[in-house]
Amino acid sequence: MLRPLLALLALILGTLVLGASPAAEGWRLAVHPRWAGVLGWLSGLVPGSAFGWGLVLLLALLVVLGRDPRRPVLARLGRILVLGLALLLLGLLGFGLLHGAERHSERLGLMDPGPEAREEALARLERALRAEVESLLQRGVQRQPVLEVELATVLAGAFGALEQECPWLEGPSVAPVRSLPEGWLASLGLAGFYSPWTGEPHVERGLPRVVVLSTAAHEWAHLRGEAREDEASLVGWQALSASEDPRARLSGHFVLLRSVWSALARTQHEAAQVARSQASTELLRLQEEVDAYWMRSRGALSGAARRTNDAYLRLAGDPRGVASYGGVVDLVLRDDWPRRIRGDVRRER
């Protein structure tokens, strides 16, 4: 029973994801928002992470199948493998289709500024972000924590504002933002992940609070239908920059500033050093806090998790693999970022 199902799912996944972008576009705009809404509503009825409970139930089922005395050991292992692959493909089928849809940046009509203009624009973006982050820090925004129960409400407000500009991002108005036991995701090198099986964005419980909202916004962008990592980061930053909540803007701008500093260090090392020397003590403290967190939290399996994620992203059609996470800087440079950092988007509403 499971073998034909597995073959059918593999055929559908290969046909639609790799070759049928019109089908992916239809799934992205017409089906996924409703499907994600239903999953999110059902998951909201479960205390804690429905994905986490699902893992527990799956492990229990695998134990039962593995102890079936009526079948030889190899047959039992085969049943377990087929069941696991079928469940994996079921989730990846729905989420994988989104990779074939039009990108968020393409819908906005964003254009590449070119290599010469890029260097100057990158330096201006760094100065603008740093000034805005410093302004928010001076107001003490970093001392106002976002409670876990607030995440969905803050994100719903931020994405609701962005939907006015980008109606294709419409989706569930409220979806639970979940977490697994503290340290589980971080040990794999993950700040968060989106579960396509349950429609739940997950955020590592132990993250430094200044990056929590940015991480949650990235995963929420997956919920809203943007599968690619750099595009999801762009959507998340645009949403947070449009938010009326200064905590959301601080998180979005700070995480993007970290990416900009990394991009500067790769192409304009001297400019990167100058930028850091001009940063305030509080900004550098936050930067060091986040760096130190990842230094002590990554576990032995983080390398394997990174390679698995890299292979999945390449299979889904992005030849950059995990390097695509850093591509958000190039996308922001194509966007009207001065308008977003100044807050014109908020005043225009």
List Cβ neighbours of 201 (8 Å cut-off, separation of 6 or more): 175, 177, 178, 192, 194, 195, 216, 219, 220, 222, 223
Percent above pLDDT 90 for the chain: 38
Model confidence pLDDT, tens digit, residues 202-238: 999 999 999 999 999 999 999 999 989 999 999 999 9
pLDDT at residue 164, rounded to an integer: 87
What's residue 299's pLDDT? 81
Higher pLDDT: 63 or 326? It is: 326
User: Mean pLDDT of all residues in the chain?
Assistant: 84
What is the per-residue pLDDT for 240? 96
User: Does residue 67 surpass a pLDDT of 60?
Assistant: yes
pTM: 0.88
Please tell me which of 163-177, 265-279, 315-329 the model is most confident about, judged by mean pLDDT. Answer: 265-279
pLDDT (tens digit per residue) in 294-319:
999 988 888 888 888 887 777 766 78
For residue range 276-290, what is the model confidence (pLDDT) as tens digits? 899 999 999 999 999
